[in-house]
A and B are shown apart, each in its own frame.
Chain A
Amino acid sequence: MSFFDDEAEDSPTHGHGGRASSSSRAQSIGASSTSFLDRLRSTVSPSPGPGHGPGHGHGHGHGVDRSRASASIFDESIGGAGSSVGYGEGGESSFGFAPDNEGLGSQSQTDLDLDEMEEMEEMDDVKKMGLVWVRERGTVEIMNWEGDLIDGLFDKLEQQQKMVTTLRSDPQTSEEEHFKLMLVQTEMERVKYLVRSYVRTRLHKIEKYSHYITLTPSIHHLLSGAELSHARRYTDLLHTHFQHSVLDSLPEWLRKMDDSYGDGLSMVTKPNRNVPVLIYCRRDCGEITLEGGERAALARGTTHLVKYKLVDRWINLGWAEVL
């Protein structure tokens, strides 16, 4: 969904006051450049179309498209994980307390927190990016690389940037448009910050667990190509450095980098899946068994601090949100 295609059919003469005069003045310069700039303008100041509800519109439609795809991914993994665990879709848990929780959810769901129940699929990309970032920050393991989301955001950022630079340098841009451009830029900076922090968090995890990542092909699909090659190169560099500085002068049997101690403690740093994680259950996640044999119910709308390894599948499904 490009900004330009989106608005191309729209008449370039809608919107605000300065438009008519600016385009008539610009006609002397050249028709093609005028229409281009007008189209750019109409992306900052969209016309009220039938499909554009206030506050939603563009982002919303996009979100729905994406939800189809992600829903099908979810379904697949539900098929995989769900069959072994035995929980159904939605709230029909085999333990039979779903109805209560549904009731509890809607009852306590006052007007205070309607948006809290918003489903992941209905969110715009920026909101989703926020969630993904929080999830990456809150967990010890490296999570799946949200390539589609990032690519989509980058495309949009790039288009916004082009639009801003073009309109900035155009002398016919009105005061109001300059103000809008400022808002657009403010938001771009916010989104860039989110993306940057997300990537940095992943980079931190990758460097911390680089050796483990290179040794474990089963988690390679969680990383983007660049991340994986960085992990490999980082491990190589680190090992070469250790070898040159210390290991080469040690006896042969002390030179290994992936040894284990007698008690099973390995030299390869792994994510500690026993570290607790904070989760908020967006849906009913059934029951988990704690090590003492006790059980804990993860009902919808509740928050828990629990070992990561006990809830990782709900986190990956998006049923549980990391806080």
Chain B
Amino acid sequence: MALPKTLQPGLTPDELTFLAEEETIDIVPLFSMTRVRLLSGIYGPFQPPSACRVPLWLALSLKRKRKCRIVPPEWLSVERLTAILKDEKENGEGFERLPKRFIETSKVLLDVAPDDLTQPSILRSLLKDLREVRQAKIRIGLQSEGVMRGSYLQVTNLTPLELSELKPFLVKAMTMMQGLEPRQEEEEEEDGGQPLGVEDEYGDE
């Protein structure tokens, strides 16, 4: 109804990309224009050789009109990604701390502005490797025993996109685990007193 069923479990990748587009990026404009005032701030002036900082959506919109060159973020380079990938592989325990929306940002940049990146095809495969290494770690991590105990999971340094992939599964698994646990002390009573999971998983139909 008000919120379509597909949107109910959490944010979709499209919505996360929308949020990533609010973040700022440097561009080198190919046209000149005075400052422009938008709701989120004042951007410009746009003066060809000098860079200026704008939201990603603005950069992409200008890029599509061939009015600017996007300066890729510092981490989106072959050297940095190779180093990050190496660290990610060596770090068996946790996850590398990466820019919060690196998947979404790199995806739109590779789609819209591959000519502004150096060696886009290598970048693409590095990003893919990075993502796969992280996904493999997540899978191994979830198999290890005790990870779901007490319906708590530490997921530090995973990005929102990775988490949104995991969330529906984890939430469902946790509610089922809670349902299986023996009803310990009736402290649930003051909290609503429903058998766990019944309401939110199935109450919708």
- Which chain A residues have a beta carbon within 8 Å of chain B's beta carbons? 3, 15-16, 43-48, 52, 54-60, 108, 110-113, 115-116, 124-127, 130, 134, 137-138, 140, 153, 156-157, 160, 176, 179-180, 183-184, 186-188, 190-191, 193, 197, 200-201, 203-204, 207-208, 263-266, 269-276, 278, 290-292, 294, 296, 301-307, 309, 323
Contacts and interface: CB of A to CB of B under 8 A. Distances in A.
Nearest to A304: B154
Contact of B38 (A183, A197, A323): A183
Contact of A44 (B18, B36, B58): B36
Contacts, number: 214
Contacts of A45: 34-37
B78 interface: no
Interface stretch (B111-119, B121-129, B132-140, B145-153): B145-153
Contacts of A43: 37
Contacts of B19: 130, 134
**7 shortest A-B CB distances, which residue pairs?**
A204-B3, A290-B150, A203-B2, A204-B2, A264-B193, A57-B42, A59-B41
A179 B33 CA distance: 9
Most chain A Cβ neighbours within 10 Å, of B34, B97, B99: B34
Given A204-B3, A274-B175, A306-B152, A57 B41 contact: yes
14 contacts: A46-B42, A59-B40, A112-B98, A116-B100, A176-B33, A183-B36, A184-B37, A187-B39, A207-B2, A264-B193, A265-B194, A273-B191, A302-B154, A304-B154
B192 A138 contact: no
B164 to A, nearest CB: 8
B97 A112 contact: yes
B49 interface: no
A183 B10 contact: no
Given A204-B1, A207-B1, A291-B150, A303 B155 contact: yes
B interface: dominant SS: mixed
A191 B21 CA distance: 12
B42 A56 contact: yes
Nearest to A199: B2
Nearest to B160: A323
Interface in B145-198: 149-158, 160, 163-164, 167, 170-171, 174-175, 178, 184, 188-189, 191-198
B42 A276 contact: no
Contacts of B152: 276, 290, 294, 296, 304-307
B38 A138 contact: no
A243 to B, nearest CB: 21
Given A43-B37, A59-B39, A275-B171, A269 B24 contact: no
Interface in B1-36: 1-3, 7-8, 10-11, 15, 18-19, 22-24, 33-36
Given A124-B41, A264-B194, A278-B155, A201 B33 contact: no
A54 B18 CA distance: 23
B150 A46 contact: no
B120 interface: no
Contacts of B93: none
A126 B22 contact: yes
A278 B154 contact: no
Contact of A187 (B38, B154, B156, B194): B38
Given A153-B39, A183-B61, A184-B38, 9 more contacts: A44-B37, A45-B34, A57-B41, A58-B41, A134-B11, A137-B7, A187-B39, A275-B171, A323-B164
B200 interface: yes
Given A186-B57, A323-B160, A278 B99 contact: no
Nearest to A116: B100
Contact of B192 (A56, A187, A188, A272): A272
B45 interface: yes
